[in-house]
Amino acid sequence: MYLDLTPASTELEKAELFNTFFHSVFSSTTFVLPPVADLPTISNSLNNIEFSEQDILEVLTSLDPSKAQGPDDIGPMLLKLLHRPLQLTLPPILAMYATT
């Protein structure tokens, strides 16, 4: 393995070549993170979320049934077919999770 004309044969030399390469192509930044006190917290940023029945209906009816199921193993076809009962039951459940 070579970087420019510098050879590397051991694992340590290869790792050092990768380090040299990545250090050369990525520049340092002057970005500074804001102080932690200035960042929003969950308690003051999520307490005003509302889920209306109309919002739920629009989302469920716009699902693409040809897409894969999510991590909950519920496919979009089933959600789309059950949009009427879910339209009524999901808003309070989502509101409960948004405030905890």
Place of tokens 């739920």: 56
Whether residue 24 is found in the same domain as residue 45:
no
pLDDT digits (tens, 9 = 90+) for 21-65: 888 887 677 778 778 777 766 665 556 778 899 999 999 999 999
C-alpha to C-alpha distance for 4 and 69, rounded to whole angstroms: 47
Whether residue 48 is found in the same domain as residue 67:
yes
Whether residue 27 is found in the same domain as residue 42:
no
Whether residue 43 is found in the same domain as residue 27:
no
Q: How many domains does the chain have?
A: 2
Whether residue 25 is found in the same domain as residue 51:
no
pLDDT digits (tens, 9 = 90+) for 44-56: 555 677 889 999 9
Which residues span the domain enclosing 73? Answer: 38-98
Whether residue 73 is found in the same domain as residue 43:
yes
- pTM of structure: 0.50
Q: Who has greater pLDDT, 67 or 31?
A: 67
